[in-house]
Homo-oligomer: A and B are copies of this chain.
Amino acid sequence: MTALKNGVGASADQKTRFFLVIMRLNLKFLLISLCVTVALITFALWANCGVGHGLVPKWPQHHGDGDNPFEQTEEIDCIINQEYAIGCRKEGEEVYLPFSFLQKYFDVYGSLNVVDGSRRFDWTHSYGKVNYPKGAYDPRGIFMYFENYNVEMRDRVKCISAIDGVPISTQWESQGYFYATQIAQFGLSHYSKNLTEPEPRRKTVEDGDREMATWVVPKGSSMNRTIVRGTTATAPAGAVLSFSTRKSFDTAVVLPMDHVLDLVLSVDVLLKPNSTICVTLQNRETQKLYHVYYILADLLIGVQDENIYYGIGLNSTGAWKHLTRDLFVDLQKGLPQYASTDKRRKMRRTELKVVEISLLGNGSIDNLTLSTSEHISHFYDAAEWLIRHQDPSTGGWPIPVRRKLGSGFGELGRGWYSAMAQGHAISLLARAYYHSRGDKRYLRAALDGLKLFRIPSYQGGVLATFLGKYAWYEEYPTTPHSFVLNGFIYSLLGLYDLNSTAPANQSNEAAVLFEQGMSSLKKMLLLYDTGSGTSYDLRHFTLGIAPNLARWDYHATHVNQLLLLATIDPDPLISQTAERWKNYMVGKRAPHN
């Protein structure tokens, strides 16, 4: 994978979640929650700003004589490697170099901040974030630290398909495509959030019998609640709400809502041609109104002014379909195109409220619900996508875009397979098998997903070998091999998850592949160690070029992966390497001779 794995944006997510938590609590818990708020803010400030001012140990330094050191401050030229000069400051025997130079020269980070009213400069060696496992890794539990991920909000996610309920990637092709790795990450993040977040607040607005809302039915339109039989697996049974209107919007059946801040919509819909269900959202600050339409079309996303359209698929015409839509995401993904002046401005979730739901044309709805989250629905949307899109002969999830990993590598043609996509999909399907209490479709798909691990990359599989000795599962099965580290480890987790979840008589292949991969990892892990960081892959070895150093978020991913593996494999090689690599992030280096 490239840019998708890092936890950037997690902080914004956390704030959002924090507010939701507050809102969800009853009034009788208000006092407690206020205390928690204070504690959290204190913690956030502490986490953001590091240790307190007075507690920090001081580095021994030369000082100018006299009470006022600035009396001795002189300007002095620093000649850098006999190549160029920069302006420095000298006080006594100490020379001071400008950060603007150091930042570029060493690729470090720094910022002026005010803490407790006093100004300070925070020097940061790296921006990677270490995620310490809270306990031993559980293949039925949180996937790594993906509860912090917010896949759908990434810029490279075009939108969530309303046909499939899974993200569309624009990473390597701007028109958008299904990328199994991303879809699995989306599903795994929601599976993990489901385990870490509090129960959502969930309000059924209309279900045709128990909950009946007060819809406004214009003259000439009609609405009624009828009993339907569940003729298909996806069709609701019992009472549903049916509507019939003319084509113009002023004839729509409308449900006005007041101050609804729960932005995840769940609904069973059955639409006839030219029908739509529309949700009107309002920005509480600007009062601006936005309309999100779910229409009968094979359209992915369409935007016209403040109107954003998602197609639920022409082959849903006249058939029941369950939608789970994060309205905030659906609006956000339409906004960049909405107004060029507004481009890329990210709205906050808390700015929005639902003000209206309208039904136009002919159709029925049931179980219309608004909630703070519906993680498990998103998770199963991803699982079902994987079931539907697995190639029956290879067991793989082909990636439909070409990919050139870098100069010197052959291009991967459309339909290539990735060990990371396979591994992620298997991790997800193993959890779906567990969570569904044994739905064999998920187990079958996961087991089929192993096939490509045995097929060499030059024959279309994902298996590479390092000098004919060590088996490696390629995130990018390039020629020559690339040996991308993080994707390989993700694929190992998939194998581990399936081995731990599958019935004993069906887990052998995953077990063998996992052991083989772990053995290779232990042999090859140190090849990625540069003594001050890690390399992303081994292209320097296979192409004879400069190493492709891992930027800090990938380096942090390496560290996080090792920390996690250390909870399931006691070999000190794993934990010691994790520890050293973690230290690289604060500027500590391997020794030189």
Selected contact of A541 from candidates B89, B469, B527, CB within 8 Å: B527
Q: With the chains together, A107 CA to B588 CA distance in Å?
A: 11
Q: With the chains together, A94 CA to B89 CA distance in Å?
A: 11
> What is the copy number of this chain in the assembly?
2
A94: chain B residues within 8 A (beta carbon) = 98-100
Task: Report if A79 contacts B (CB, 8 A).
Answer: yes
Is A97's CB under 8 angstroms from B102's CB? yes
Q: With the chains together, A350 CA to B78 CA distance in Å?
A: 36
Q: With the chains together, A222 CA to B573 CA distance in Å?
A: 77
A550 to chain B, nearest CB (A): 6
Contact with B along A49-70 (1 / 0, CB 8 A): 0110100111111100000011
Q: Would you list which residues of chain A between 117 and 175 have a CB under 8 Å from chain B?
A: 118-125
Given A73-B89, A120-B78, the answer on whether A59 and B101 have CB atoms closer than 8 Å is: yes
Is A532's CB under 8 angstroms from B529's CB? no
Is B527's CB under 8 angstroms from A549's CB? no
Question: Closest residue of chain B to A59, judged by CB?
Answer: B86
A527: chain B residues within 8 A (beta carbon) = 527, 540-541
Q: Would you list which residues of chain A between 201 and 256 have a CB under 8 Å from chain B?
A: none
Question: Closest residue of chain B to A573, judged by CB?
Answer: B544
Given A84-B58, A89-B73, A95-B110, the answer on whether A79 and B544 have CB atoms closer than 8 Å is: no
Is A544's CB under 8 angstroms from B530's CB? no
A533: chain B residues within 8 A (beta carbon) = 531, 592
Task: Report if A29 contacts B (CB, 8 A).
Answer: no
Is B81's CB under 8 angstroms from A56's CB? no
Task: Report if A554 contacts B (CB, 8 A).
Answer: yes
Contact with B along A425-461 (1 / 0, CB 8 A): 0000000000000000000000000000000000000
Is B57's CB under 8 angstroms from A84's CB? yes
A573: chain B residues within 8 A (beta carbon) = 544
Selected contact of A76 from candidates B106, B121, B530, CB within 8 Å: B121
Q: With the chains together, A89 CA to B549 CA distance in Å?
A: 33
Q: With the chains together, A361 CA to B140 CA distance in Å?
A: 94
Question: Closest residue of chain B to A544, judged by CB?
Answer: B573
Selected contact of A546 from candidates B53, B69, B91, B590, CB within 8 Å: B590
A83: chain B residues within 8 A (beta carbon) = 51, 56, 586
A114 to chain B, nearest CB (A): 11
A194 to chain B, nearest CB (A): 32
Is B102's CB under 8 angstroms from A550's CB? no
A124: chain B residues within 8 A (beta carbon) = 81
A96: chain B residues within 8 A (beta carbon) = 88-89, 96-99
Q: With the chains together, A34 CA to B205 CA distance in Å?
A: 102
Selected contact of A536 from candidates B81, B85, B554, B593, CB within 8 Å: B593
Q: With the chains together, A57 CA to B85 CA distance in Å?
A: 6
Selected contact of A467 from candidates B74, B119, B469, B551, CB within 8 Å: B469
Question: Closest residue of chain B to A122, judged by CB?
Answer: B79
Question: Closest residue of chain B to A543, judged by CB?
Answer: B526
Task: Report if A25 contacts B (CB, 8 A).
Answer: no
Q: With the chains together, A72 CA to B532 CA distance in Å?
A: 36
A587 to chain B, nearest CB (A): 6
Q: With the chains together, A39 CA to B176 CA distance in Å?
A: 68
Q: With the chains together, A101 CA to B96 CA distance in Å?
A: 10
Q: With the chains together, A592 CA to B530 CA distance in Å?
A: 12
Is B548's CB under 8 angstroms from A51's CB? no
Given A97-B102, A106-B106, the answer on whether A82 and B50 have CB atoms closer than 8 Å is: yes
Selected contact of A89 from candidates B81, B89, B532, CB within 8 Å: B89
Is B79's CB under 8 angstroms from A121's CB? yes
Selected contact of A121 from candidates B2, B60, B88, B535, CB within 8 Å: B88
A125 to chain B, nearest CB (A): 5
A85: chain B residues within 8 A (beta carbon) = 53, 56-59, 120
Q: With the chains together, A541 CA to B530 CA distance in Å?
A: 11
A420 to chain B, nearest CB (A): 15
A88: chain B residues within 8 A (beta carbon) = 96, 121
Q: With the chains together, A498 CA to B541 CA distance in Å?
A: 30
Question: Closest residue of chain B to A115, judged by CB?
Answer: B79
Task: Report if A80 contacts B (CB, 8 A).
Answer: yes
Task: Report if A414 contacts B (CB, 8 A).
Answer: no
Residue picked from A69, A76, A88, A522, most chain B C-beta under 10 Å: A88
Is A591's CB under 8 angstroms from B548's CB? yes
Residue picked from A59, A101, A125, A576, most chain B C-beta under 10 Å: A59
A586: chain B residues within 8 A (beta carbon) = 81, 83
A58: chain B residues within 8 A (beta carbon) = 84-87
Q: With the chains together, A74 CA to B57 CA distance in Å?
A: 20
A466: chain B residues within 8 A (beta carbon) = 467
Q: With the chains together, A533 CA to B547 CA distance in Å?
A: 11
A260 to chain B, nearest CB (A): 42
Contact with B along A517-561 (1 / 0, CB 8 A): 000001011110111110110001100111111110010000000
Between-chain CB contacts (< 8 Å), 15 pairs: A51-B82, A53-B77, A70-B75, A76-B119, A79-B122, A95-B98, A96-B96, A97-B97, A526-B541, A526-B545, A527-B527, A527-B541, A529-B546, A548-B592, A554-B593
Give 9 nearest A-B pairs by CB, closest first.
A50-B82, A96-B96, A549-B592, A59-B86, A546-B590, A530-B530, A56-B85, A526-B540, A81-B586
Give 8 new A-B contacts, CB below 8 A, not counting A59-B101, A90-B119, A551-B593: A77-B121, A78-B123, A79-B122, A102-B102, A468-B469, A526-B541, A530-B547, A551-B592
